[in-house]
Chain A
Amino acid sequence: MDRMNEGMPPEIGTAWKALEARASERAARVDVERVTARVLERLRREGAVEPRLRWMSPAVLRAAAAVVVLVAAAAVVRVATERSGQAARLPVGIPAMDSLSSHQLEAVLQAAGEVAPAADTVAPAASGGSLDDLTEAQLETLLASMNGAEG
């Protein structure tokens, strides 16, 4: 069946034959064996399968995106909660430290080390866990307080 001529005016049919002849002539110059070798070489080099994520269905992608957003939101809330907890502890505690002796300060720090891991159920318990969570500025303030108490 010659579908080419279906509904095609003769003037287009004639032009089309000429165009098709040109297209065929150009296509004939394509070296199929070279194309084959290059395609196989690229598949070997770049991987035969598109990264999985690109071929997930939109529904799966939406679900994955929702999970990522939830996890990120939970992380943000956790960090914000921890920071607000520290912010509440330190300003209250630090001024009072000026009057503490080094032994008393060590006791306070030990207590902090015991309390902090319990507040964070995810991080592994460590003796210096709460100190690790302090910012550099907070640590400097704490050390300055300790020095002042000893001096």
Chain B
Amino acid sequence: MGAPALSVDADGDLIARYLGGEELAAAELVRRHASALARFIAAHGAPEDELEDLTQETLFKAFRALGTFRGGASFRTWLLAIGGNVLKDRRRRWRRDQVVALTPDIRDPSGDPGLEAEAGWTAERLEQGVAKLARLQREVFLMRAQQGLGYDEIASGLGISEGAARVHYHHAVKRLKAWIA
């Protein structure tokens, strides 16, 4: 329990230093969280060629809004929530671009999976399933399954109740299970 608290405090110090005008503190925060953020965004099904740009965009927006960070959730969780908003804005474009690529699978979900390795196929199906989840279900699922966050932390980051976070997670798992079945 001690390690996460220390980590949050350290982020808090860096945030205070950045808000005090120390640019290097921002650089340290980016180095500390960019990889996890990129993984979170990648698991949403973001195209690889946009991954770096999305990571950068999320961090930029976060630093510009840093004055509103109240510390209810950790900086990492807050950052992921902003990443979710950035992804929401981009999703329209992906939907438009991915229509052609995804159509064969969507039309024929029982296509011959034997042509691909089972693990690769299910991972691909799961990625599609994650992308098809309702936004809050997707974010809660990824925050918990990928980032290992507790429901209380997820709830603070997304501005929902802990019970709602729990429900979203279980609905997400249920839908994903049905999707890859």
Contacts and interface: CB of A to CB of B under 8 A. Distances in A.
Chain A interface extent, by class: 35 or more
User: By DSSP majority rule, is chain B's interface helix, strand, loop, or mixed?
Assistant: helix
A67 B125 CA distance: 54
A97 B137 CA distance: 80
User: By DSSP majority rule, is chain A's interface helix, strand, loop, or mixed?
Assistant: helix
A32 B29 CA distance: 11
B146 A32 contact: no
Contacts of B120: 18
Contacts of B56: 35, 38-39, 42
Contacts of A39: 26, 30, 56, 59-60, 63
Contacts, number: 131
B169 interface: yes
A122 interface: no
B130 A32 contact: no
Interface stretch (A9-17, A68-76, A128-136, A139-147): A9-17
Nearest to A52: B67
A49 B177 CA distance: 43
Interface string B33-75: 0110011011100001001100110011001110110000000
The 4 closest A-B CB pairs, nearest first, are A18-B123, A27-B38, A15-B122, A23-B42
